[in-house]
Structure formats: C-alpha cells, structure tokens
C-alpha cells in the first residue's frame, strides 16, 4: 500500500480513538520519565512539520540530506504538556492529511529514484546505512512507521 494510503488509514483509525481520550488522561505520562500522550502527539506534530518540508524539498533535489532537530527540546518549547488535547489532535490530523496530499502528488519517478547522498542514517526511524542508496519512497514509509509506532504508545 502506498505511504499516503497507509497514512490516511492510520489517521482514520486513530483520530476517533484519540478524540475520545480526556484532557486529564492525555496529560498523564505513560510512566515516570516518559512523555504523556499530549507530548507524544506534540512530538508527532513536530515530526510532521519537519517531514513535510523534507518531502516537499526532496521533489526538487538530487539528494535526501535534511537538517535534524532536537526532539526533546522541541516538545518542551512547544509546551505540548499544557496544550488542549482536542486542539493538538486536530492539528495532528490536519497536518498529516496535508502530508498525505504531498506524498500523493510526488511522482513515482521522484519517489523511487535512488539517492546516493542522504542522511537517513541519522534521520530515519529505521535508518539506512550511509553507504547505501535510499529513496524518498522508503523515507515516506518510514515516516508512517514512526507515526504508527507512537500512536501505538498512546492507544
């Protein structure tokens, strides 16, 4: 299944279940020292923000080299722990629906082109060795895998 279809399916499956979680439950960390659901969704919003740009830019470059970001600091700065759950879940859904549109608009030739230069050994959830070519299709699927992993932590 193409990554945009997987992403839309994940959103359709998760959104009603996420929306049913109370603000109080969303604010509770899963375990001491772990993120709360609000922080996990915040992290997924930050991931969406970064990967949206990456997927768009990859349509216009010959490589897959992108800046990284400090996830912990972004979650702290975003103040997700104190944000309204409904607002976060809605933002997460809408941002990811836009990413699905970008994925769908990306030509197959761009998705499947092997890129010798990449930094997916640093950025991908399931990394690709630096000396191995990578594709945007792989990186898009990896994005969905990462999202599904974190949704599983909440749901």
Q: pLDDT, tens digit, for every residue of 98-155? A: 999 999 999 999 999 999 999 999 999 999 999 999 999 999 999 999 999 999 999 9
Q: Which two tokens stand for residue 100?
A: 């699905």
Q: How many CB atoms lie within 10 A of CB 116?
A: 11
Given a contact cutoff of 8 angstroms between Cβ atoms, the answer to whether 118 and 64 are in contact is yes
Whether pTM > 0.95 for this model: the answer is: yes
Q: pLDDT, tens digit, for every residue of 61-79? A: 999 999 999 999 999 999 9
Q: How far apart are CA 45 and CA 89, in angstroms?
A: 9
Mean pLDDT of the chain: 97
Which superfamily is assigned to 3-154 in CATH?
dinb family like domain (1.20.120.450)
Domain segments of the chain as ranges = 3-154
Is the pLDDT at 28 greater than 90? The verdict is yes
Q: What is the pLDDT of residue 30?
A: 86
Identify the H or E element spanning 38: helix 37-58
Distances (CA, A) of 148 to 3, 40, 46, 114: 12, 12, 15, 25
């Amino acid at each position: 299944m193409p990554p945009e279809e997987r992403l839309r399916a994940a959103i359709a499956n998760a959104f009603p279940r996420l929306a049913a979680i109370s603000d109080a439950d969303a604010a509770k960390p899963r375990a001491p020292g772990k993120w709360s659901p609000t922080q996990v969704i915040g992290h997924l919003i930050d991931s969406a923000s970064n990967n949206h740009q990456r997927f768009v830019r990859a349509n216009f470059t010959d490589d897959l080299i992108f800046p990284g970001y400090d996830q912990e600091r972004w979650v702290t700065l975003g103040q997700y722990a104190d944000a309204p759950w409904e607002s976060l879940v809605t933002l997460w859904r809408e941002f990811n629906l836009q990413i699905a549109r970008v994925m769908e608009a990306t030509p197959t030739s761009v998705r499947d082109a092997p890129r010798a230069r990449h930094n997916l050994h640093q950025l991908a959830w399931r990394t690709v060795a630096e000396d191995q070519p990578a594709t945007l299709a792989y990186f898009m699927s990896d994005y969905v895998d990462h999202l599904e992993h974190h949704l599983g932590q909440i749901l």
